[in-house]
Amino acid sequence: MKKIISIYILLSFSFAYPVTLNELIDLAEKNSPVLKEKALDIKIKEVKKKQIHKKKFGEIHLFGSFNRFEDPRILYPITPPIDPRNLVGAKNQFITGISYSVPIFTGFEIEKNTEISILAKRVKEIEYLLTKNQLIYNIKSIYLKILSLQKQKKALISYKQSLIELYKNIQESVKVGKKPEVDLLKVDYQIESVEAEIEKVKNSIYALKSALKTIIGKKDINLSVIEDVRLTELDNFNRTQLLKNINSLDTLKQATLSEEISEKKVKIAQGKYLPKIYFTASAQRNMGNSEYKDLWQVGFIVEYTFFDFGRRKHEYIQSKLELKKAKLQKKTLRLKIIQKIDEALSEIKTAISKIKASEKQLLFAKEVEKIEKAKYEEGVSDLYDYLLAKSQRFLAESSYYQAIYEKESAISYLQYILEEFKNE
């Protein structure tokens, strides 16, 4: 039974379905709590827009009251001609009715707030796309780190296997007296060191995979096997052309929308110096002593704040300062984007140079390893030189793969700055 279970587990790992980067991105778009939160923000702003827009239609109120007076009071206002015999009074009086008021002019406050709500919704829509862009970049960045570490792990395992083979060969030589027994201890020490390094890399891979699951928003993904990415062949990027295209970036569009919102807030602050006009209408029934009287009225209300101890003035000053701040933030943001593009281009160039250097180092390291192996087998050099050559070859191989994925990461970073992931 144990044998069957072992075979099943072995087959499960052998035939595990490799997960691709695109599949993980698709899962993230469906499951990421961050994206869901941003989608809700858009809906909230849509509701807010409708809420503000409805203010221009006014409000309908139902009202009612009960009063008990010390003496009978008339049920309704007296109008000429006055006949005391027709006056109806009651100590206990009930009043019920309905009223309607609608703003005719509010200093453009409702109109501007409606426009702001439309812009605010657009800001949230852009924020959703930028969050998606950030999410995909984070996934890709972690994915590439995992691939790089897996290559390092593979190289370490290969290195360990070669050390085990070396240990066996030295063991045979020790038996016939060709090599000293201390050489076995040297190789054994090196094997232990490599095993510790393999464990370290495994733990790093595990931590990165856990982080990847958290970002995607799905913990039950099988990441035991992940498919390698197709390496980008394009090595040259035209900086001048890239800088020409930054005006179309949503990051700057978002800053422009924030500036427009600040401009409209200035208009709202200015409008508070204007009067407000409302249309009102009401109908009510006054009741008491089994008598009642129906009353109605329509009219206009004009409100004007004559003096507010400088409150409106300071609101206006604040809105102007916030507008100035929004303009400066847009300018700063543009400069930061240019800076990030330059950083990404520099990282790409550095990675390309590192790949070329690592290729040469790997060739040299392999050649040196062959030479040191032959010298050790012939007894010309010490085992230390051979082990050093083997470790240098591993370091060169590890550095080569690291440089390859660093280049991919640098290109991904540039794509992230240029917002190329938001439409995936």
DSSP bridge pairs for 285? 96, 294
Does a structural domain hold residue 51? yes
Does a structural domain hold residue 9? no
DSSP bridge pairs for 284? 97, 295
pLDDT tens per residue, range 282-314:
999 999 888 888 999 999 999 999 999 999 999
Asked if residue 255 lies in contact with residue 333, where contact means CB atoms within 8 angstroms, the answer is: yes
As a whole number of angstroms, the distance between CA 223 and CA 268 comes to 54
Q: Within 13 A of 248's CA, how many CA atoms are on the CB side?
A: 8
Asked if residue 316 lies in contact with residue 115, where contact means CB atoms within 8 angstroms, the answer is: no
pLDDT at residue 215 tops 80: yes
Closest CA to 167 of 129, 128, 195, 131: 195
pLDDT interval class at 319 (50, 70, 90)? very high
pLDDT tens per residue, range 142-190:
999 999 999 999 888 888 888 888 778 778 777 877 778 888 888 888 8
Residue 80's region, left for phi above 0, alpha for psi from -120 to 50, else beta, is beta
pTM over 0.85: no
Handedness of CA 192, 198, 204, 209 (dihedral sign): negative
Does a structural domain hold residue 368? yes
Tokens of 101: 């008021």
Position 235 scores a pLDDT of 56
Does a structural domain hold residue 83? no
Q: Quick one: average pLDDT of 3-18?
A: 49
DSSP, res 226 = B
Does a structural domain hold residue 38? yes
As a whole number of angstroms, the distance between CA 230 and CA 144 comes to 11
CATH classification of the domain holding 406: 1.20.1600.10
pLDDT tens per residue, range 323-368:
999 999 999 999 999 999 999 999 999 998 999 998 888 888 888 8
Look at residue 264 and give its three-state secondary structure.
helix
Q: Which residues contact 345 (CB under 8 A, 6 or more apart)?
A: 237, 239, 414
Does a structural domain hold residue 209? yes
Does a structural domain hold residue 3? no
Q: Is the peptide bond before 81 cis (omega within 30 degrees of 0)?
A: yes
pLDDT tens per residue, range 230-282:
888 765 678 888 888 898 999 999 999 999 999 999 999 999 999 999 999 99
pLDDT at residue 376 tops 60: yes
Domain count, the chain: 1
Domain span including residue 59: 17-78+88-417
pLDDT tens per residue, range 39-93:
999 999 999 999 999 999 999 999 999 999 888 888 777 777 777 767 778 889 9
Position 407 scores a pLDDT of 92
Q: Helix 109-175 vs helix 33-54: angle between axes, to the nearest 10 degrees?
A: 180
Asked if residue 224 lies in contact with residue 13, where contact means CB atoms within 8 angstroms, the answer is: yes
Q: What b/e readout covers 247-284, taking b as 16+ CB neighbours within 10 angstroms? A: eebbbeebbbbbbbbbbbbbbbbbbbeeebebeeebeb
Higher pLDDT, 381 or 121: 121
Does a structural domain hold residue 12? no
